[in-house]
Chain A
Amino acid sequence: MEALAMKDSAISQNGTERTLYPYVTGTSVIGMKYKDGIIMAADTGGSYGSTLRYKSLERIKSIGKHSLLGASGEISDFQELLRYLDELVLYDNMWDDGNSLGPKEVHNYLTRVMYNRRNKFNPLWNSLVLGGVKNGQKYLGMVSMIGTHFEDNHVATGFGNHLARPILRAEWREDLSFEEAVKLMEKCLLVLLYRDRSAINKFQIAKITEEGVTISQPYALKTHWGFSAFQNPSKGAEGSW
């Protein structure tokens, strides 16, 4: 047991520790721009490997006055990032000069943080979605755990990249109303719910506009499992499983 622990542990002779792999993880986050701002959604689950350990995690938080941050990956690293950002916003407020950090600035800061942690071989194991509106300008970007970053009209992390982005590429438009954006978002979330095993049926949708941030209460989507093929599973082979 000790031998295994020593092999797995990152504690070497000089006593340093660094992240090797994630433990409690959140699954996809999806974000898209719509007419008045940004809309972002994530489920509220935290998995410990294949166990669903936490069912009420808030994986989308507001940063300063103009940004929303959604994270997938290691939850404790997300919490660490929130501490970094708290300090950043605090120092920004202390200038007391009427200026405030916009989403572009926060995205750049996060990119630098993630990249530099990766350079020290001690990454924050997250994929982040950063969205916001400042002075009428909408901004939506993503940062991965090694510092790969970009901005686009719609972004997604993890499985969302494979399942949600194709839907968004086909159906996203510049001038979506809030209701249309929510419908499109729920379409993506439903596909993820059916096909991502670490997704749970409890979502929060957050929106940010020039006026401010709203993060919804958690709610569930209607799913349909009444397919005839599910009715009698052993129909084709009686006695088998």
Chain B
Amino acid sequence: MALRRDWVYENNGGSALNLPISFPFQFIDTTCVAIAGSDYCVIAADTRLSVGYSIYTRDYSKICKLAEKCVMATSGFQGDMKALQKNLAARHLIYQHQHNKQISCPAMAQLLSNTLYYKRFFPYYTFNILGGLDNDGKGCVFTYDAVGSYERVGYSAQGSGAGLIIPVLDNQLKSPSPLLLPAKDAVTPLSEVEAVDLVKDVFASATERDIYTGDKVEIVVINASGIRRELMELRKD
């Protein structure tokens, strides 16, 4: 008998635990990373779409441009990922009609949080990172859980490879504690080129050990001159 839990959140990674409910305690696939700089933001995600032990396609983008200065990377159940992206893109269109301007990244961050919490009791099974430039032109990264709790940070990683990547970022970016007074800036002093290199390195490392990460990594860089996108090949095994 196909129990409800088996198919509702088939979620691109299969289930490691046999829980009576199908809530976000299962395998999360894909890896997303974002790093905020003083005047840029780097967001990256791999392009592998996997379900269980199969790869559906090697070329699926998980990064969605929501606004001029605001880009979202999502890991988790792909059906919910797409629905969430469409939802936010539609809300942004309404925002533009009502306010006659593009939404700012911190405002979109709040909108994403509210959208996720709205489905608190049947969640979007997505683990998101929002990246962009804030109203002062400084890089900002917001990191989320599946039901909308979020925080502005200097860098973040989500998804199956997050556990492999965050320690490396902690070591390399040495973000100051949010408990310090006066509050110290969380954005990294690294230059844009150095940050992109770091992102490429962490993805190459995560690909070695995580089966759900690989194929290609899509790196999006937002700075004052606009949005730039590049692809880097990763191991395909």
Contacts and interface: CB of A to CB of B under 8 A. Distances in A.
Given A150-B56, A152-B57, A121 B4 contact: yes
B51 interface: yes
A148 interface: yes
Interface size class of B (residues with CB under 8 A): 20 to 34
A162 B79 contact: no
A21 B9 CA distance: 15
A115 B12 CA distance: 14
Interface residues of A, number: 23
A165 B78 CA distance: 20
A21 B54 contact: no
Given A149-B78, A149-B82, A119 B122 contact: yes
A146 B8 contact: yes
Contacts, number: 56
Contacts of A161: 54, 56
Nearest to A152: B57
A147 interface: yes
Given A144-B10, A161-B54, A150 B60 contact: yes
Contact of B8 (A21, A118, A144, A150): A118
Contacts of A121: 4, 8
A47 interface: no
A20 interface: yes
B99 to A, nearest CB: 28
Given A152-B59, A161-B56, A162-B54, A146 B79 contact: yes
Given A148-B51, A162-B54, 6 more contacts: A20-B2, A21-B1, A121-B4, A148-B12, A148-B79, A150-B78
Interface of B: 1-2, 4, 7-10, 12, 49, 51, 54, 56-57, 59-60, 77-79, 82-83, 122
Interface of A: 8, 20-22, 111, 115, 118-119, 121, 123, 142, 144-152, 161-162, 165
